[in-house]
Every structure is written in C-alpha cells, then in structure tokens.
Amino acid sequence: MKVKFIGTGSMQSKSCNCSVMVDNILFDVGNGVVRQLDISNIDLSSIDYLVITHFHGDHFLDIPNLLYSRLFRGINKKFTIIGPVGLRQKTIDLLNFCYGDGTNKFNTMEEKFNVTFVELNPDAELLINEKPLKAYKLQHANNVEELGYVYDNKIAYLVDTTICDNYNEICKNTEYVISDVTDLETSVMHVGLNDYVKIAETYPNNKFYATHRNIYSTENVKNVYFPSDNYEINI
C-alpha cells in the first residue's frame, strides 16, 4: 500500500490540514486539502473513496470543492464518501451554503456528482478494495461523533481524539498508527506528544506517526515519526 501524508497540520500550524491518502482512499478533506492535492500533483480521478472522521471544518469542509472539482474536470467515475451518521445531510447543508439557490437541487446530488454515501455507526465494518475498513468510536469534543478507522487490519487513522479505551486497543494491535498529536500535552480533545511517546515505547513493534500537529519541537523524540506534507511511505 502507498501511504501519502497530504497534510499534517492542525488549525494552528502553517501546514495543510491533516489528511492522508492510502492507495485510492482519502482520509479527511478539511479546508485547503483539495488545493494541496493539486500542489502534490495527485489526479483527483485516482481517489475512489473519501473517508471522513467527524464534522469539524478542518476535516470535512472541502467536500463541496472536491465534488465540484471532479465535476468540472470531467471526472465522472463512481465516488463513495464514508463517514459518521449524518454525513449525507451535512454534505447537502454544505453544498447549499456554498452553492445553493434556494431550491432543493442538492437533494439529487448523488446523480449530479455520481457519488454514494455510506454512513457508519461505531464498530461497523465494510470492504474497500476487498480489504476491511473498520470504524471505532473515539473521544473528541462533546456532541461530536468521532470515528477512527483501521484499514486492512494494518493501518490506523485516529484523528481527532483524546486517549480512550478504543484508542489504546488500536495502538496495541495495529502495525501502522497515524494519530492526532496536536500538542505536547494530552487534552480532553486531543492526544499529546508526551503520552504518544509512552504508547510508542509500550508497543515497539508498531510504527507511530504523529499528525494534526501544532508547532512544537520534536527534537530528541526517537520512536515517533513526524511526517511533513507530501511525505510518502510504502507498506
């Protein structure tokens, strides 16, 4: 699998908002991510699936840009957007806010954009590219449904979250962990580097990548990777 870190920043950082592409799957599309995909020379037609973690702007605000960029560039192959319950209506609301004309024209957006929506409850599992994608409930802001994902039993995308039971379990059992490490200290909304380093020490056979990062020094941290925008690995 090819894993490309499109964006690795938090809202405070000057890097692009956090987003990762794994083969033909894009995880999160916050504001600025579509522009970053262009800068990275990634053809939008190479993305068949978009997976959303939660409905904060830095994770899903570019859905209208992605749909319209596909349309205007003549990309009409089937596209699937996966995310928490409420995803389809959130997308209609966003499209109406950005491009609405007072009619219900986006109620038929599936046809217009050749897109399908899959809304997942925690613990749901589906097959993508004949490999399992599992959704896990994580813990972020109050009243925000936050899903973390494990793809192919091998790579985890855990953004945004604080440390919780599912988080610990996934870190223990997944070879490649890509996690929210927003700041130095863990908060009620985010994982901190201090705790992430300890988790990486506990499970030395797994590889830990810190993303959604504020600006902080990573000097002397040896067991966690700090990818920059556009960094790519093959696993």
Q: Which residues bind Zn ion (CB under 5 A)?
A: 56, 58, 160
C-beta of 56 vs 213, nearer to Zn ion: 56
Least distance from C-beta 157 to Zn ion, angstroms? 12
The residue with its CB nearest to Zn ion is: 56
Least distance from C-beta 177 to Zn ion, angstroms? 17
Least distance from C-beta 88 to Zn ion, angstroms? 20
Least distance from C-beta 85 to Zn ion, angstroms? 17
C-beta of 55 vs 79, nearer to Zn ion: 55
HSE value, Cβ hemisphere, 13 Å, CA-based, for 18 = 29
Residue 58, SS3 per DSSP? helix
The distance in angstroms from the start CA to the end CA of the chain is 5
C-beta of 23 vs 160, nearer to Zn ion: 160
- Rounded Cα distance between 81 and 93, Å, is 15
Task: Give the C-alpha distances (Å, rounded to integers) separating 77 from 40, 43, 74, 112.
Answer: 21, 13, 9, 12
C-beta of 115 vs 164, nearer to Zn ion: 164
Contact 155, 175 (CB under 8 A): yes
Q: Which residues of 107-123 are buried (b: 16+ CB within 10 A; e: fewer)?
A: eebeeebbbebbebebe
The length of the chain, given as a count of residues = 235
Least distance from C-beta 180 to Zn ion, angstroms? 7
Least distance from C-beta 50 to Zn ion, angstroms? 16
User: Tokens 């988790």 appear where?
Assistant: 199
Task: Extract the tokens encoding 226.
Answer: 């700090």
- Rounded Cα distance between 80 and 70, Å, is 13
C-beta of 115 vs 177, nearer to Zn ion: 177
Least distance from C-beta 56 to Zn ion, angstroms? 3
C-beta of 56 vs 207, nearer to Zn ion: 56
The contacts of residue 93 (CB under 8 Å, 6+ apart) are none
C-beta of 140 vs 207, nearer to Zn ion: 140
User: Tokens 């957006």 appear where?
Assistant: 109
